[in-house]
Amino acid sequence: MMLRAPLMPLDVATAQLLAAVTPIAEHEQLSTLQADGRVLARNVVSALHVPPQDNSSMDGYAVRSADIVDAHTVLKVTQRIAAGAVGEPLQPLTTARIFTGAPIPRKADAVIMQEDCTAQDGAITVNTLPLPGQWIRRAGEDVARGDVVLSRGRRLGPAELGLAASIGMSELSVVRRPRVALFSTGDELVMPGTVPPEAMRPGAIYNSNRLFLNSLLKRMGCEVTDFGIVPDQRDATVDALRAASLGNDVILTSGGVSVGEEDHIKPAVQTLGHLDLWQIAIKPGKPFAHGRVGNAHFIGLPGNPVSSFVTFLLLVRPFLLRMQGVADVAMPSMRVPAHFDWPRADKRQEFLRVRRNAQGGLDLFTNQSSGVLTSAVWGDGLVNTPAGRPIFCGEMVRYTSFAELLA
């Protein structure tokens, strides 16, 4: 009897998958307003200080601290400086009414909050002694001229776009989007909207994977070509793979990667190319595959929706980020107490769907079946459970939030 090869551990499979990636070399100039979620192709270097000059961090009064000898010093208000205006040099025993963001006038070295003064008849009485430099934001304290403010390979979010705008960047050089061909296999699949629920034939199911995988790919910055549903036929699968390999970086499929008689993906890929990775020691998601068809990477996900969803997050997400030049693609996690028992440890590494509770712990979704997609909707993350290890209430476990993975 032929012995089946042992399943590949997740960390080994991840390392092998990432080693197979060649980052996309092509890039494009894109308006900063449109660059959310894209990956920088070049460092962003500041041509100016931010802030460009010393400015006030409070509404109040700019003063010369040496003029204020006690907490009852009276200073004459001689000017008013709003944000965007430029004041005159401050004369002895005078003050300038100043507002948040306004440039500090020459010879002033402190700002007194308006709450710490009494204003009357064009003058103020100082109620507290100021310290030199208080409430002043120094030129360049955020960004100095010549600083690399955003590094190549960084994925852009709202804060990064704001920082780029703060140094005058109206356009950014970003990596071209990965081109991904997507299709599902299975004669049982029906697209929502084509058949009403009451008319569904026995054994038919709506194709949920196609919808959520399309969404996940777009969140990862991909350009998606949807090849629809491919029937469970060898020739049809070969034809779909051949067409999908033309002009795409990645072919992503769901279903047909197990070992049943109607699972045609593996032999079809081997007809056109090769498989380098097949089946992983995780639950859910064992039937995961990676190889090449022509110039395109092939990634095959399981057909069960939770398996497909979880393997995308664990393996496809870092693969696509690395393809766009992102260096740190590790799955973030934190230690959180389990408020549940999971005594039936599996021989594979297991990813349980859980939800944070008001006590700061984790509750477990009752049904952990790989076909129960409600677990991924009810839950807000995954617990990474080592193979063969049970979990008992109160134990600290490794938790990863869906929000971090899907940002």
Tell me how far apart the alpha carbons of residues 61 and 104 are, in angstroms, rounded to a whole number: 10
What is the helix, strand, coil percentage profile of the chain, to 5? 20, 30, 45
For residues 335 and 400, is the Cβ–Cβ distance under 8 A? no
pTM of the model: 0.88
* Average pLDDT estimate for 173-192: 94
* Average pLDDT estimate for 201-226: 95
Element (H, E) at 266: helix 265-272
The predicted-structure confidence for 237-267, as pLDDT tens digits, reads as follows 999 999 999 999 999 999 877 655 456 888 8
Is there a common fold for 29-45+148-175 and 55-137?
no
In the CATH scheme, what is the code of domain 55-137?
2.170.190.11
The predicted-structure confidence for 143-167, as pLDDT tens digits, reads as follows 999 999 999 999 999 999 999 999 9
Q: What pLDDT does residue 277 have? A: 87
**Tokens in use for 105?**
């006038």
The domain locations on the chain are: 10-24+177-323, 29-45+148-175, 55-137, 334-405
* Average pLDDT estimate for 357-369: 97
In angstroms, the Cα distances linking 201 to 197, 204, 205 are 9, 6, 9
User: Quick count: other Cβ atoms within 10 Å of Cβ 185?
Assistant: 26
| β-strand partners of 293 | 273, 296
**Topology classification of domain 10-24+177-323:** Molybdenum Cofactor Biosythetic Enzyme; Chain A (3.40.980)
Task: Name the CATH architecture for the domain at 334-405.
Answer: Beta Barrel (2.40)
Please state the φ and ψ torsions of residue 141, each to the nearest 5 degrees. Answer: -70, -25
* Average pLDDT estimate for 348-376: 97
The predicted-structure confidence for 83-113, as pLDDT tens digits, reads as follows 999 999 999 999 999 999 999 999 999 999 9
In the CATH scheme, what is the code of domain 29-45+148-175?
3.90.105.10
The predicted-structure confidence for 380-399, as pLDDT tens digits, reads as follows 999 999 999 999 999 999 99
Res. 1: pLDDT tops 70: no
